[in-house]
Amino acid sequence: MSHSALIVADLYAEVEGKRILKGIDLRVEPGKVSALMGPNGSGKSTLAYTLAGHPKYIVESGTATLDGIDLLALSPDKRARLGLYLSFQYPAAIPGVKVANFIYAARQALRPGDLPPAKFRALLMDRLQVLDMDPSLLGRYVNDGFSGGEKKRLEVLQLAMLAPKYAILDETDSGLDVDALRAVGDSITALRADDEGRQTGFLIITHYPRILEHIRPDVVHIMLDGRIVKTGGADLADRIEREGYDTIREETTSVA
Ligand SMILES: Nc1ncnc2c1ncn2[C@@H]1O[C@H](COP(=O)(O)OP(=O)(O)O)[C@@H](O)[C@H]1O
Ligand SMILES: [Mg+2]
């Protein structure tokens, strides 16, 4: 049986003794984009950290599988090697490690020896251009003194160079200006079916619908208080843009 999907089923998780995720069901397929939207504090980042295997986020029950493999039984490192990439809301600086070397090491770890250095360099320059990034960033230390927008673009550059099977992007759009949003959107759209013949499946976590004008999602989930309360198509994101989360909160809590 083939299971090409990242599937989360009835997932409950707690942080610091408090239940945050209350039965999450999700499915992400290669080449598809699912969006997870919700107001601050609804548990979106908790889901990302739980899937990444952060030790503070404890799974109480439920499952998460990647192509049929039990993700929750694996170390964070093994999850990444299986092809799961997570970009976090607050990327860390790594003083002393240059961007180009960092990305090369990450690619080598994921796919040892699959790109000779010269080809790696050519691909890197190409991806840099799509993201409209200054090549001088490659010689700087990872995120060290980067502006908010530069950090986010670097996250997407790493993503584009790794071409993972599944990517979870947590608020990668926050703090981006319109040009950066478009660049990030183009880069992600290219990865849905990239020129190396790979397809990445995305879970795009976002508070604001704006990024979804550049990357039309196949599915939109709305999360409130640790639950997915509504699922729909791209038009659901348009509705959030117009109405905010309040009407959905009223609709879904009045019947619960
Ligand atoms: N490391 C943590 N320690 C304590 N509480 C946490 C931690 N991470 C998340 N939470 C709590 O979980 C809830 C959901 O937070 P979060 O997942 O960050 O929401 P979102 O990403 O949707 O804004 C919040 O009440 C938050 O305070
Ligand atoms: Mg968050």
**Distance, CA 38 to ligand 2 centroid (Å)?**
9
Q: Is residue 117, in this structure, part of any structural domain at all?
A: no
Whole domain around residue 221: which residue ranges? 6-93+164-255
Q: Is residue 153, in this structure, part of any structural domain at all?
A: no
pLDDT at 1 over 50: no
Give the position of tokens 């699922």.
231
Q: Name all residues whose Cβ lies below 6 A of ligand 1.
A: 15-16, 20, 38, 40-46, 56
> pTM to 2 decimals?
0.92
Q: Is residue 86, in this structure, part of any structural domain at all?
A: yes
pLDDT at 194 over 90: no
Ligand nearest to the CA of 245: 1
Contact 87, 155 (CB under 8 A): yes
Q: Is residue 100, in this structure, part of any structural domain at all?
A: no
Q: Is residue 113, in this structure, part of any structural domain at all?
A: no
Q: Is residue 159, in this structure, part of any structural domain at all?
A: no
Look up the CATH number of the domain holding residue 82.
Answer: 3.40.50.300
Q: Read off the amino acid at residue 240.
A: I
Q: Would you state the pLDDT for residue 195?
A: 66
**Distance, CA 16 to ligand 1 centroid (Å)?**
10
Q: Would you state the pLDDT for residue 206?
A: 92
The tens digit of pLDDT for each residue in 96-154 reads 999 999 999 989 988 888 889 999 999 999 999 988 899 999 999 999 999 888 888 89
Q: Is residue 176, in this structure, part of any structural domain at all?
A: yes
Average pLDDT in the 201-205 region? 95
How many domains, the chain? Answer: 1
Contact 87, 24 (CB under 8 A): no
Q: Is residue 140, in this structure, part of any structural domain at all?
A: no
**Distance, CA 190 to ligand 1 centroid (Å)?**
32
Ligand nearest to the CA of 40: 1
Average pLDDT in the 15-29 region? 97
